[in-house]
Amino acid sequence: DIQLTQSPSFLAASVGDRVTITCRASQDLNSYLAWYQQKPGKAPKLLIYTASTLQSGVPSRFSGSESGTEFTLTISSLQPEDFATYYCQQLKSYPSFGPGTKVDIK
**66 is an interface residue for other proteins by CB under 8 A:** no
CA 77 to chain centre: 15
Closest CA to 105 of 8, 17, 6: 17
| Rama region for 82: left / alpha / beta (φ>0; ψ in -120 to 50; rest) | alpha
Site for other proteins in 14-43 (CB under 8 A): 32, 34, 36, 38, 42-43
Which residue number, 53 or 77, has a Cβ lying nearer to other proteins? Answer: 53
Report the interface residues with other proteins, using CB under 8 A: 32, 34, 36, 38, 42-46, 49-50, 53, 55, 87, 89, 91, 94-100
